[in-house]
A and B are shown apart, each in its own frame.
Chain A
């Protein structure tokens, strides 16, 4: 009776070991195959583009091994000096992905400094992505509505995005000013700072700040000196 439990353990351990080996072999094969596809697309890019039937077959092949045809066009087109439209479309898709992933943490406001490494973070991508690339890619997105916009705050680029592209209000001037103070003050702002810098009254401060907190652009800190409230921009954590 006891030994059966024992054997079962041993069997399941062995089974796990075997399937681990198997899956690691498979994933190696898969990645080899994926890079082969990328190479192929690099060499025969024109053919793929010209021949409609060829292209659909190729796309099918790509998706069956888990290779996004969109990403593929990042790899294949990034080498050219003239980065074509496909490259920017693919890049814009990546941007949207990164924004979605990080939205819970930053409330839909991400600095280029944080965004670029995440876009770059792609094993097969060797060329460097620049601020200009991102701006161009965003132009592609702009055709779909103005959910994404670039803000320049104190010389640094930020990407602001919201899901509800209908509410085109986006980042108000006031909210932008709050972030400007943050950049000066090591990532934080307070009623007093806003009053001293912009001469805003209490109600104006409260409206702007509450709105920003609700959108997740600011974190509240109630333990400042003399119990003064401080508001911090969350990118401080990753900076």
Chain B
């Protein structure tokens, strides 16, 4: 941060663009000048006409027409130049992008070579070996971190007890509900109707026996 910042470098491309831009500026100035001339000639033509000098007026108008065609030509040239400048600038950016891509690709390749399958296999083998060694040592020292058979059995029993406590009571109604829900929609509608009607009858009878 403290050091003297380096000045931006002027590249060959910069020079090329600079040259074109200078040409473009000249064209712009030329256009400005011509516009002034055209304006003056229009005025002169008007003046001549008001004095009745038809010949002169025509001369000015002709000359004006000529200038105008020059102006439109300069516009074309200007357009070309601007396009060219634009294209070059765009190409330069593209070049930067390609450069960036190449760099990225190189880095990726380098990373990939470092991550070769053989190397990783070997690494994994080594890890496994080390793990085995640890187990071995633990066994020898009798500190193997596992439960005895009886302990395992006790765990299983406790699990079942818990399972019954929590899920046992809940499971039963669940099953009943399920069969109910599933069986109803599956039965054909024609058969269902009387059943439903019956149900309604059963519900209604205590209140309105007359209907039956």
In the complex, whether B145 has a CB less than 8 A from a CB of chain A is no
- Hey, which chain B residues are within 8 Å of A5, CB to CB? 5
- Hey, which chain B residues are within 8 Å of A8, CB to CB? 1
2-31 of chain A: CB within 8 A of chain B: 2, 4-5, 8
1-50 of chain B: CB within 8 A of chain A: 1, 5-6, 8
Cβ-closest chain A residue relative to B5: A5
Cβ-closest chain B residue relative to A4: B1
Across chains A and B, the number of contacting residue pairs, with CB separation under 8 Å, is 7
CA distance A2 to B1 in the complex (A): 11
Number of interface residues of B (CB under 8 A): 4
- Hey, which chain B residues are within 8 Å of A163, CB to CB? none
CA distance A8 to B1 in the complex (A): 8
A104 to chain B, nearest CB (A): 43
B168 to chain A, nearest CB (A): 66
Main secondary structure of the interface of A (DSSP, over half): helix
B36 to chain A, nearest CB (A): 42
Number of interface residues of A (CB under 8 A): 5
In the complex, whether A214 has a CB less than 8 A from a CB of chain B is no
CA distance A1 to B8 in the complex (A): 10
CA distance A59 to B8 in the complex (A): 60
CA distance A161 to B105 in the complex (A): 85
CA distance A56 to B5 in the complex (A): 56
Cβ-closest chain B residue relative to A8: B1
CA distance A5 to B1 in the complex (A): 8
A88 to chain B, nearest CB (A): 58
B9 to chain A, nearest CB (A): 11
B47 to chain A, nearest CB (A): 49
Cβ-closest chain A residue relative to B6: A1
Cβ-closest chain B residue relative to A5: B5
- Hey, which chain B residues are within 8 Å of A2, CB to CB? 5, 8
CA distance A5 to B5 in the complex (A): 8
128-148 of chain A: CB within 8 A of chain B: none
- Hey, which chain A residues are within 8 Å of B8, CB to CB? 2
A7 to chain B, nearest CB (A): 9
A106 to chain B, nearest CB (A): 50
- Hey, which chain A residues are within 8 Å of B6, CB to CB? 1
CA distance A4 to B4 in the complex (A): 12
139-189 of chain B: CB within 8 A of chain A: none
- Hey, which chain B residues are within 8 Å of A4, CB to CB? 1
B2 to chain A, nearest CB (A): 10
CA distance A1 to B6 in the complex (A): 8
B174 to chain A, nearest CB (A): 63
A11 to chain B, nearest CB (A): 10
A114 to chain B, nearest CB (A): 52
- Hey, which chain A residues are within 8 Å of B1, CB to CB? 4, 8
B164 to chain A, nearest CB (A): 66
B6 to chain A, nearest CB (A): 7
B99 to chain A, nearest CB (A): 17
Cβ-closest chain A residue relative to B1: A4
Q: Which residues of A contact B (CB under 8 A)?
A: 1-2, 4-5, 8
Which A-B residue pairs are the 7 nearest by beta carbons?
A5-B5, A4-B1, A8-B1, A1-B6, A1-B5, A2-B8, A2-B5
| 7 residue pairs A–B, Cβ–Cβ below 8 Å | A1-B5, A1-B6, A2-B5, A2-B8, A4-B1, A5-B5, A8-B1
